[in-house]
């Protein structure tokens, strides 16, 4: 986990795995990338070298299993049982 200290409000925050991946993708060939502080909203400059170790451990979660397929033709409903007359 990488803790970032905001330059404006001085509060620490940990960016999410998605934010780290997006910041690394946006920083291709640049010295710094921006991470937004969730407390005050200010952008903080962070070196990509500081985020790369955190990206190794924050791999995206595996995709959820697909729901079972629904048959194309619905099965016909069963006919209700006819009442028997006793008498």
Residue 42 domain boundaries:
4-57
Determine, yes or no, domain membership for 84.
no
In 3D space, the residue among 25, 71, 72, 17 whose CA is nearest the CA of residue 48 turns out to be 25
Determine, yes or no, domain membership for 81.
no
Q: Is the pLDDT of residue 56 over 90?
A: no
Q: Is the pLDDT of residue 9 over 90?
A: yes
Determine, yes or no, domain membership for 85.
no
Determine, yes or no, domain membership for 14.
yes
Determine, yes or no, domain membership for 8.
yes
Domain count, the chain: 1
Determine, yes or no, domain membership for 46.
yes
Reported pTM: 0.59
Strands (E), the chain: 4-5, 12-13, 33-36, 43-46
- Confidence bin at 55 (pLDDT 50/70/90): confident
Rounded to whole angstroms, how far apart are CA atoms 86 and 84?
6
Determine, yes or no, domain membership for 51.
yes
């Amino acid at each position: 986990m990488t803790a970032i200290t905001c330059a404006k409000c001085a509060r620490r925050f940990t960016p999410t795995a998605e934010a780290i991946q997006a910041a690394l993708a946006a920083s291709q060939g640049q010295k710094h990338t921006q991470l937004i502080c969730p407390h005050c909203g200010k952008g903080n400059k962070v070196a990509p070298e500081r985020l790369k170790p955190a990206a190794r451990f924050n791999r995206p979660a595996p995709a959820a299993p697909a729901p079972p397929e629904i048959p194309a033709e619905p099965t016909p409903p069963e006919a209700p049982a006819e009442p028997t007359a006793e008498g």
